[in-house]
Chains A and B, each alone.
Chain A
């Protein structure tokens, strides 16, 4: 087990390195660097910018150095000092700006993941054990819609219908008085009812695909010999179902966390813009509009690293659940 984990962790290093290079390239992509934008902004606001200020700023960010030296300075600052650069839009260190946003994104994504599992697994099991029943068709149909329709369109249509029917505007995560308030029990209670809609919308496509996977896997398992044998020997139907086939069918669910999580985070970005949630999506968009590249680069970097870690966790979980992977070595 330890061997397996350390092998997987070692594998991550080149991956993380490659991600950081991609993000660095994206930061460098827009014409003009961040400094010239910053200087232009200062000039616009009427502040005189002296040659020495420019030179010292250039020194600070290593902009006078070659490209790869800039990369090393950037990555060194992140790893050693936790300094992601400066957001000139907020005039604050990036880390301070994105902290609260990122935690909300994570909370919503994790709740969505739990929602996806809590809904999809029972429905998948039901659909497989009651194949071709009316409810099976209903779930398949709903699943199909959920899979085909993107979250932001569902969100758009939902907020309109809810507003048209009830007159309640369900956007934002908090009531106005709580938006800037520090975290407290009251704030959490305020958030809970408002988080339901985003979670459902974001989790929709994940739920739909997971229902399909569970149903398919379970149907495969149910037609195997050992199930027939157990049934012939008189094992109670429920005990039989949950003891073996369900456990087998759940395996791919764990191994697909690696894909489910980035899909959730990715889908959340646009849904959050429609629903006006205080998460990473709207801020990333705004940062892109203002070409606040350190800010959006950091978002991208952190979201990707979190995804990689999520995949790692799911692999370890899978190895823990399934001895074939644990003992079969690190290869598939």
Chain B
């Protein structure tokens, strides 16, 4: 539908007056969500952010296929190696379409005993696309061995963002880490959403004692500094838990502390909507409480909930990152952006191996994009303004 409108609008490009008129007509009959979409489309930054985020999530979903190396593959000759540069021009043969990288040769400094790497023109590795590499299981189910790109011999190094102290390829690990970190934001918000909706709804709709109790609980949770509380609770998770258990344990902890913001929004909205004429009319017409909430109240503030949720996803992602970064969240064999940053904790490593900061770039980008998106959604949330 929207494609047809776009095309027809483009065809009518020469006649702006008629275009506006036709839009005005549809404006009056358009549904609430359609109006929001129109308003949201005007917010170019938010639209771009949505596309970038979608791209990130797709990459995270297909990380096994898209990453050139396995996250646990180690290039033992290339510990703490700087990133390789992608070349198109070979000094001997000139320009070529197929990109290639040079291998590195290590040199040990005689005084400090630190290894430094320099590109070695002798070792030229051409990058192949849809190459057969190390075998993996797509989504842990389908055995495959095709990677989007990589080197002919998977034992040869392709390290586009450098390696860590064990010789892991940082680029592949960032892609794999994206799956954990990005999904954590989405999965983590589900429980928060349920808690916020239920408790905020009860608080606003029932009022009275239930309202007072829930409000006091919110006051209480706001009083305790969040990060220290997170730290204390995650540290209390049993050490013997598997990676999945810790992941969901963290999500439960975040949700138990984080539902307050959403509950406040829901309560506030319900309190005002409860007094509206259409609610009264529904009640007089004999609608049940559940039906009023479902049919009349929920659609009225669904957009606000979406905004609120969008704006709280980055907080959850950052929480996981922060906790894993300081070492109380997810632990080493698991790869998340926070776990990757653990290597970049002290100034010494940062000074010598600055490429270990790469995960920060992705975290910051993700968080900013979510914020822009949330901002755009907020502007679009009330299309009748």
Contact = CB atoms under 8 A, between A and B. Distances in A.
A43 to B, nearest CB: 20
Interface in B307-351: 314, 318, 321-322, 325-328, 341, 344-345, 347, 350-351
A168 to B, nearest CB: 10
A285 B328 CA distance: 8
A138 to B, nearest CB: 16
A270 B227 contact: yes
Contact of A285 (B219, B226, B231): B231
B212 to A, nearest CB: 11
Interface in A22-44: 22, 26, 29-31
Interface in B335-385: 341, 344-345, 347, 350-351, 354, 357, 360, 363-364, 367-368, 371
User: Which residue, of B224, B238, B322, B341, has the highest number of chain A Cβ atoms within 10 A?
Assistant: B224
Interface residues of B, number: 39
B228 interface: yes
B222 A262 contact: yes
Contacts of B371: 144, 147-148
Given A152-B325, A157-B360, A289-B327, A164 B224 contact: no
A36 to B, nearest CB: 15
A267 B226 CA distance: 9
B352 to A, nearest CB: 11
B302 interface: no
A288 B220 contact: no
Contact of A19 (B223, B233, B236, B322): B223
A22 to B, nearest CB: 7
A150 B318 contact: yes
13 contacts: A147-B371, A150-B318, A153-B363, A153-B364, A156-B357, A160-B347, A171-B347, A262-B226, A263-B226, A265-B228, A266-B228, A285-B326, A288-B232
Interface of A: 14-15, 18-19, 22, 26, 29-31, 144-145, 147-150, 152-153, 156-157, 159-160, 163-164, 169, 171, 258-259, 262-263, 265-267, 269-270, 273-274, 280-281, 284-285, 288-289, 291, 296-297, 299-300, 303-304, 307-308, 311
Given A156-B360, A171-B347, A284-B232, 13 more contacts: A15-B219, A15-B220, A19-B220, A148-B368, A150-B321, A153-B363, A266-B227, A269-B225, A270-B227, A270-B326, A285-B328, A304-B224, A304-B225
